[in-house]
Structure 1
């Protein structure tokens, strides 16, 4: 008696969403083909999450020494070697690429290095140079990622006005850097190059820094940046950003001009969903603007029958761990192992600049019930001479509905906060939990047990 052939799963994109989808599909017994036009790991590994964290870690000593020197507890200088830092980064990324490729091979996944040229019913069309291949599928998972946003008058020109990727590859820090965009990317890169000695000017049209976060978080970020000497300007519109005489020239609304050696455009992300034939297969789009459309998905992350969209390209949550979670679910759903709707629970988000920011669940609005605690009372924050910030708990019907923190090491609290929010803890549960002392998490405990009040 012969067994039926395995169902065929084709995954497009080897970033966090596609990579995890391919492995989950193989583990579920599917015959998996993974199509990737460039490097394994996508934006996160190659031009985003991992390079920025490497640069933040390798420059941290500058800020640590400055904080202790301000307390008159230490003296001296720290001079990061940016060329050496970049060389180490390349080695780490190369090792990760090799490890990922080996894992795919061990799982029996076929890796095709090619562009997705189009889609038709049951077939993914690929092209690699003059070579083409039609790859049949029973299920298709699109993990197309996203691309850096730009607008007329504010876009990289490849000269002094740059996108994130070339800035993260600098082997020598510019003397001055203008950053347009004060979201996670802009704030983290501002921290990196301030530590490297650049004069940093950060502007954003939004009324506050970290505009997606609690307004009180933005106040702490502004306070810390002002203390560090970063010229951060929220609520400022940009008229144009161009290269002039080899330098970046930023013209603000009202006519003020700021010049710098280099400029970074970090104003968000657009979808990367221009795939011939996709609409004809039944895919729908959440935004019909040309070259910007997010793929609309149903409760099972499908954008068309047997076609899933995961990660950035569906516009739900533009975070690597969200993409990975969606990819695993989609592969298991394609294999028949998941029957219910995709319901991941609260997804944590972190900023890793200075100060760090962490948020899980809802952000408190005026009139909501909150409790909070300041980092200034935390022994670990005190020891690091870095006490700005707070942790805040949002309560709904006596249960934890959201936790936000900004300050020293706030990102390290994200897993604990995710558990508390996902399980909707009560104050009584928090009282019964023993926290280690001393520890940064004690600020979360203090916030959980703090006085309940109404947010103004």
Structure 2
């Protein structure tokens, strides 16, 4: 009997994939359970397994070919082998006990965010037996509730911005409609694809993942329990990667029902007509631009004298001017004093600027005042793990070792630099030290990426820091308005700025504000990391036309040799 070979499923939500290695060809004998070929997708390789005994009559695929779900790719002459019926068990009436297990891994990791899961993979690569405990979802805050979903929505908003300005590019768009449901659906698909990819990597590397809350039993043992297992894990080494949570400020009304965090806004199905964002840092300003573009009236209240206060003033000025031009109201040097609700279920935020008090009415209020380390998620004293001097994070050395030599801590819970890529690298440093590789963590060249409009990328030290350290420095600077690619795209706001150490003859910092800034900053990180001189850097060739050419021009400007601007 002839049976059609159909692509019935792919990884996750994928609708297509590529043919990987073909193990059996037309005319070959096949048995149920044989792998005929593999299908490669964004989440890894999926095996196409035969359900039949017989002979392959036809197989119309080649390696590297794109195939789609429900596509017929061949046929088999033979007979179908029915799957064995599962053994029926008696009713448990919901009282079945989880299976008790005792584990003794080389490394136990608590937290599956960008620090924890990267450490787990690197550990498996080094031949270590790794167990990972995750209470929520693999990928942590960054992937599920932070970096990735925010950037997905930011990209949707960027498309909207182009639609609004389509006429400048030669297109007349008479009407458009915003669908928050579609925007959120797309965001969820992006997140789902990446989470599925991490799950696949855990399986590929034979990393045991247990879902549940880690509880400290004693200095050598962690227990975790869910519906299926009750595990007691005696570890040789422990990595704590338990992350952080949104902070709040202790003012009147801070706990009112309806006050949002970034996590709440990432699930919004309707755009608020107005919103007051308390906090003008990275999270607050990214959401200010997103919500403004979607049609909200946005007020930003920032306690510091300037928004994005860790950046240089000339960088801040570009972002602030862009915000003001778009109609975002910036109240810097302003402290939120109280939040109250009206009878119409709106919010009134009282702010203090100097000795004067003002009031902002809005449909929503968002708290964006930073994040706090989840130091209360574990009984650290039982592990003999101490906190830092400020008592707001776990104390670690440059090898990521805590006060207990068997215990390491990485990521936001250390409260050093709360960035996903820092957590990932800390995870690699920790696991490589566990494997006796003697590596250390350095913080002098950490890039940051801010997805405002325009974008901001920075790394190394700022000009303000160079002044404070009394470094003999020179600035190299190039405006994007003089860059051909930026002009062609109609995105000429911003500049590239480099800080050059004249004494040590090397680039020590850089800031980029403008189109593709968050991508270009990697080039500056490499120049700093390699400690190249301005002469060496000036002979690196950049492709034309690209916005990256602006980096080359800024390098030349260090020596007053700029070609396209002067």
Matched, 1:362 2:461: yes
- Equivalence for 2:359: 257
How far apart are residue 429 of structure 1 and its match?
Answer: 1.3
**Residue pairs, 1:67-82, within 5 angstroms:** 67=165, 69=167, 74-76=171-173, 77-82=175-180
**Corresponding residue SS for 1:124:** strand
Compare relative contact order (CA 8 Å, sep 6+) and give the higher one, 1 or 2: 1
TM alignment of 1:286-325, pairs within 5 A: 286-289=388-391, 293-303=392-402, 304-325=404-425
**Conservation of the 8 A alpha-carbon contact between 2:105 and 2:131:** no
Q: CA deviation at 1:406?
A: 0.9
Secondary structure of the residue aligned to 2:115 is: helix
Measure how far apart 1:385 and its partner are.
2.3
Identify the match of residue 517 of structure 2 among 406, 410, 433: 410
SS in 2 for 1:195: helix
**Corresponding residue to 2:316 among 218, 222, 230:** 218
2:553 counterpart SS class: helix
1:271 maps to 373
Scaled by the length of structure 1, the TM-score of the pair is: 0.91
Distance in 1 (alpha carbons) for counterparts of 2:460 and 2:394: 24
Q: Which residue of 2 aligns with 1:34?
A: 132
Deviation larger for 236-245 or 126-135? 126-135
Residue among 179, 187, 197 paired with 2:277? 179
SS in 2 for 1:360: strand
> What is the CA-CA distance between 1:79 and the residue it aligns to?
3.4
- Equivalent-residue separation in structure 2 for 1:125 and 1:244 (angstroms): 47
* Aligned 8 A contact 1:37 1:115 in 2: yes
Is residue 188 from structure 1 mapped to residue 286 from structure 2 by the alignment? yes
- Unaligned stretches of 5+ in structure 2? 1-102, 561-566
Cα 1:81–1:314 shift into 2, 3 Å = same
Unaligned runs of 5+ in 1: none
**Aligned residue-pair number:** 444
The structural deviation recorded for 1:154 is: 7.0
Tell me which residue corresponds to 1:435. 542
Structure-2 separation of matches of 1:287 and 1:126: 30
State whether structure 2 residue 114 is matched by structure 1 residue 9: no
Match of 2:500? Answer: 395
Deviation per CA, 1:176-214: give whole Å up to 9, x if none.
111111111111111111111111111100111111111
Change in Cα spacing, 1:134 to 1:128, as seen in structure 2 (3 Å) is same
Shift of 1:124: 1.4
- Once the two structures are TM-superposed, the CA of residue 63 in structure 1 deviates from its matched residue by 2.0
1: distance between equivalents of 2:313 and 2:390? Answer: 31
**C-alpha deviations, 1:82-104, integer Å up to 9, x for none?**
11111122223223222222221
- Which residue among 232, 235, 240 is the counterpart of 1:134? 232
Q: Name the TM-score, length of structure 2 as normaliser.
A: 0.74
Contact 2:150 2:266 in 1 (8 A): yes
Q: Structure 1 stretch 148-157 or stretch 137-146: which is displaced more? A: 148-157
Are the counterparts in 2 of residues 156 and 162 from structure 1 also a CA contact under 8 Å?
no
Between Structure 1 and Structure 2, the one with more helix by share is: 1
Calculate the aligned-residue CA RMSD, in Å. Answer: 2.3
Native 8 Å contact 1:82 1:172 kept in 2: yes
**Partner residue of 2:342?**
244
Question: What is the aligned partner in structure 2 of residue 346 from structure 1?
Answer: 445
